[in-house]
Structure 1
Amino acid sequence: MDRRSVYGPRDSTVLSQQAQHRSDDIPDGDLDAVLISRRADGNFWSYFNQNNMFERVQEILHQIGFYGVYRCGRLQLNQHLITALVERWRSETHTFHFRVGEATITLQDVQIIWALPIDGEPVTGIDFDRTTQQWQEYCLTYIGFSPDANVLKGSRLQTSAITSHLAAVEITYNTPQAVVVQYARAVALLLFGGLMCPDSSGNYVSLLYLSKLEDIETARNYSWGSAVLAFLYRELCNAGTKGKVAIGGALQLLQVKLT
């Protein structure tokens, strides 16, 4: 008997991409290819686990809709579990195929676990063709500091530069509101780009997300939860392909939901 008929789908009319799926290597004994779980929030939690976030900043996070993510904190990921789940994820159906049936993570799960807004405008953006100096000026305007050129890579900024800035700013009851808002934007950027939608780099966040945080008053009008779920689905589909070594996305949600 062909072992692939045991480990693979019995009917390939629906699961038609088995030949490109990472689970296709299981019959050959390739069981040690553990995926690297990428995230860019380590420095963030190292700082805020030792220093309380001032309540004025927390209020703005609540206003944006990110406070639930902050309150949940950092969860240590089990990379073997994540890899096993990816081996059962099928991009044809966007579900995990278990022996007991299919399962998936839904928009309702995102809302319940992280309390993210799921109604409103889509989180979309344009990849602005800005120079390094223009990105520095943009950062100075919206997150309160101008990063060095060596921590910028196109429209992406190293997370350590943002965390260093946060550590250098002291927020008190007397701090001007404009400074508090800039500080909160930097925190929100790290939470979204480092934990909710981290890419495969592991240490950069996209400054394009800032365009949706420019106006704090309207930031909650976006469906952040939908963006997080769509990003996670895309990462699961990419990581399920043969030869992939890393996965990004909101893997913390995945681990909480399916354990």
Structure 2
Amino acid sequence: METSSSSEQLLYGPEDPSLLNLQKHHISHKLMKEGTTQVFKVRRTESKTWDVEIHENVRYWLDVFGFKGVIDCGKPMKVDNELITALIERWRPETHTFHLPIGETTITLEDVQAIWGLRADGRVFTGRDYHDNFSDWTSKCRDLLGWIPDTSTETKQGGLLMTALINQTRMPLGDDLPMYVYIQRARIHALILLGGLILPDTTGCKVPFMWLNGLGDPEEVKNISWGSAALAYLYHYLCEASMDKRKELGGPMMLLQLWAWERMPTLRPAFIGPVVHEPYTPCGARWKGTTQIGNAPRHSVEHYRDQISLIRPGQFIWTPYAHCILPDYCNDVTGCSLCETYLVCWAYVEAHEPGRG
């Protein structure tokens, strides 16, 4: 798909509509007709939890569960809604790829593992969706989280409020408590990371009760493929947004933003200080710090649209992690990131075709 400069409308749609057969419903069709599209708003609500000190025994279990990479990356920077919007205009649900001037590309399991250290291999994150009544969920919260939520102030529409979960993490823990207490607290932190950063929905304020069913047995939790769950969620929301079915976005859009910065230097913001990858940390950790995101007039959908349209072969980094010294949990030792398969996260099932990227 080719584009014009920001002062003009998109001039061309797909050259061959036999494959990209959803063009009439695609957001780019609206862009070509009207010359503009809305700026999507990304939901992300985990930021306050980074101000809470995590007990070392809780951190141990978070590492066991598979969240060490995300924790090591620390608090992500501001979401760039304008950059995400420009990328969505290039996303094709028919192929699960971005169509760029230099060809097709996509975010894959390799990227998820290298950037956030989320396990690519393992069992899918899925299970039974609901209990017969609300009391079942409250008893499950008691057993798994060590806390019975107040139904009037700490729950909402089939989920736990993020504010309630974050408040629970602020309660200090001693050093000589039974191990199950630290596991319960680790589950609370895991739910915050899932609901606020890795698998956020469009509400931006709650975590589904059903995810408790996937966090029961620690021995099973440590084998969950969080990477495939995150990617399934991302693909789902990209597809829906590109088909103009969403006004607000769920899914790990911060992961997409970091992927874009890794791959396309012309889309990176201006940083205060050099961007350096510290050995044995996930690649996402190098994007911490102060940036110039939000400085007008450079920060706009039109700017990013221009930069994407002007990308040439030498300006896209096909192997961004080649020279990075990554920790073991960021390396795909089984080669599963190259598998053409389906990604599953509860009700979402999306095709993973790394050969297109």
Q: Mark yes or no: TM-score above 0.5.
A: yes
Structural mapping, 1:1-259, within 5 Å? 6-44=11-49, 48-49=50-51, 51-73=52-74, 74-150=76-152, 151-167=154-170, 169-259=171-261
Name the amino acid aligned to 1:213: L
Cα offsets for 1:153-175 (capped at 9, x unmatched)? 343111101111111x2123122
Distance 1:60 1:246 in 2: 33
Structure 1 length as normaliser, TM-score?
0.91
Distance 1:9 1:55 in 2: 53
Name the amino acid aligned to 2:15: R
Q: Give the superposition deviation at 1:152.
A: 2.1
Between 108-117 and 125-134, the greater mean CA deviation after superposition? 125-134
Q: Give the superposition deviation at 1:32.
A: 4.8
> What SS class does the counterpart of residue 244 from structure 2 fall into?
coil
Does the Cα contact within 8 Å between 1:70 and 1:191 map onto a contact in 2?
no
Distance 1:129 1:31 in 2: 45
Distance 1:59 1:35 in 2: 37
Name the amino acid aligned to 1:130: D
Higher helix share: 1
> What SS class does the counterpart of residue 246 from structure 2 fall into?
coil
Name the amino acid aligned to 2:100: F
Moved over 4 A (4+): none
> What SS class does the counterpart of residue 222 from structure 2 fall into?
helix
> Structure 1: 5+ residue runs without aligned partners?
none
> What SS class does the counterpart of residue 120 from structure 2 fall into?
coil
Q: Give the superposition deviation at 1:83.
A: 0.4
Q: Give the superposition deviation at 1:86.
A: 0.5
Distance 2:65 2:244 in 1: 38
Distance 1:130 1:162 in 2: 23
Q: Give the superposition deviation at 1:81.
A: 0.2
